[in-house]
Chain A
Amino acid sequence: MSGLYGSLSVALSALLTSQQALETSANNVANANTPGFTRQRPVLVPGDPVVLGRLSFGTGVVLQKLQSLRDPILELRLNQETQGEGKLDSMLSALQQIQVNFSGTDSGIGDAISKFFDSLQQLSTDPTNPSLRQGVLTAAGNLATAFNTTAKNLQSQRGNLDLNVVQTVGDINTLTAQIANVNQQIENLENVHEDASAFLDKRGTLIRQLSSLIDVSVIQTEHGITLTTSSGTPLVAESRSFALSTLTGGGGMHSVFSGTTDITGSISAGKLGGLLSMRDTQIPALQDNLDQLASGLATALNTAHRAGFDLNGNAGGDLFVPPPAGGAGAAGALAVAITDTSLLAASSDGTPGSNGNLATLSAVHDQAVAGGQKPLDFYSHIVFQVGSDTANTSADLDASQLILQQLEDQRSSISGVSLDEEAANMIRYQTAYQAAARVITTVNQMLDDVVNLGRY
Chain B
Amino acid sequence: MRVNPNPVSDLLAALNRSRQDTQDALLQLSSGRRVNQPSDDPAAAALLIDNRDRTTFTARYQQSLTSLQGQFQTADSTLNSVVLALQRALTLGIQGGNGTLSDQDRASIVSELQGIQDQLLSLANTTFQGRYLFAGTQTNTLPFVLDNTQPSGVRYDGNDAVNTVQIGDGYRLASNKPGSQIFSAPGHDAFLAMTGLIQSLQANTGVDTAVGTLRDAFDYVSGQRVFYGNSMNQAQAQSTYLGSAQLQLSSQENTLGGADVEAAASRLVNSQNATNATLAAIGRISQLSLFDYLQ
B257-295 interface code vs A (CB 8 A; 1 in, 0 out):
100000000000000000000000000000001110010
Contact present for B166 and A424 (CB under 8 Å): no
Q: Which residue of A lies closest to B17 (CB)?
A: A398
The answer to whether residues A362 and B138 also contact, given A110-B52, A114-B53, A387-B46 and a CB cut-off of 8 A, is no
Question: Which residues from chain A contact B204 at a C-beta distance below 8 Å?
Answer: none
B178 → A minimal CB distance (Å): 11
Partner of A421 from the list B5, B159, B172 (CB cut-off 8 Å) is B5
Contacts of A391 in B (CB 8 A): 39-40, 42
Name the residue of chain B whose CB is nearest to the CB of A414: B2
Q: Known interface pairs A118-B60, A379-B49, A420-B5. Does A99 touch B166 (Cβ–Cβ under 8 Å)?
A: no
User: Is the C-beta of A284 less than 8 angstroms from some C-beta in chain B?
Assistant: no
The residues of A that contact B63 with a CB separation of less than 8 Å are: 122, 125
- The A78-125 residues at the B interface (CB cut-off 8 A) are 95-96, 99-100, 102-103, 105-106, 110-111, 113-115, 117-118, 121-122, 124-125
Q: How large is the interface on A (under 10, 10 to 19, 20 to 34, 35 or more residues)?
A: 35 or more
Q: Per-position contact with B for A386-408: 1 when CB-CB < 8 Å, else 0?
A: 11101100100000010001001
Q: How far is it, in angstroms, between the C-alpha of A353 and the C-alpha of B289 when the chains are bound?
A: 89
Distance to closest chain B CB from A39 (angstroms) = 9
Residues of B within 8 Å of A385, CB to CB, are 42
> Chain B residues in contact with chain A, CB under 8 A?
1-7, 9-10, 13, 36-43, 45-50, 52-53, 56-57, 60-61, 63-64, 67-68, 129, 131, 135-140, 159, 161, 163-166, 172, 175, 257, 289-291, 294
Whether A353 lies near B131 (C-beta < 8 A) is yes
Q: Looking at the complex, which one of A122, A349, A359, A413 makes contact with B2 (CB distance below 8 Å)?
A: A413
Asked if residues B49 and A412 are in contact (CB atoms below 8 Å), the reply is no
Q: Would you give the shortest CB distance from B128 to chain A, in whole angstroms? A: 9
Q: Are B42 and A387 in contact (CB under 8 A)?
A: yes
Which residues of B lie under 8 Å from residue A390 when comparing CB positions? Answer: 37-39
User: How far is B61's CA from A438's CA once the two chains are assembled, in angstroms?
Assistant: 103
Task: Report yes or no: B67 in contact with A353, Cβ–Cβ below 8 A.
Answer: no
Known A352-B139, A413-B2, A423-B290; judge A103-B37 contact (CB<8 A).
yes
Q: Tell me, yes or no, whether A347 is within 8 Å of chain B by CB.
A: yes
Look across to chain B and name the residue whose beta carbon is closest to the beta carbon of A109. Answer: B49
A214 to chain B, nearest CB (A): 24
Task: Find the residue from B47, B61, B131, B137 having the highest chain A CB count within 10 A.
Answer: B137
Whether the Cβ atoms of B131 and A102 lie closer than 8 Å is no
Known: A355-B165, A383-B46, A391-B39. A412 touches B4 (CB 8 A): yes
Q: How far is the CA of A332 from the CA of B230 in the complex (A)?
A: 49
* A384→B38 contact, CB < 8 A: yes
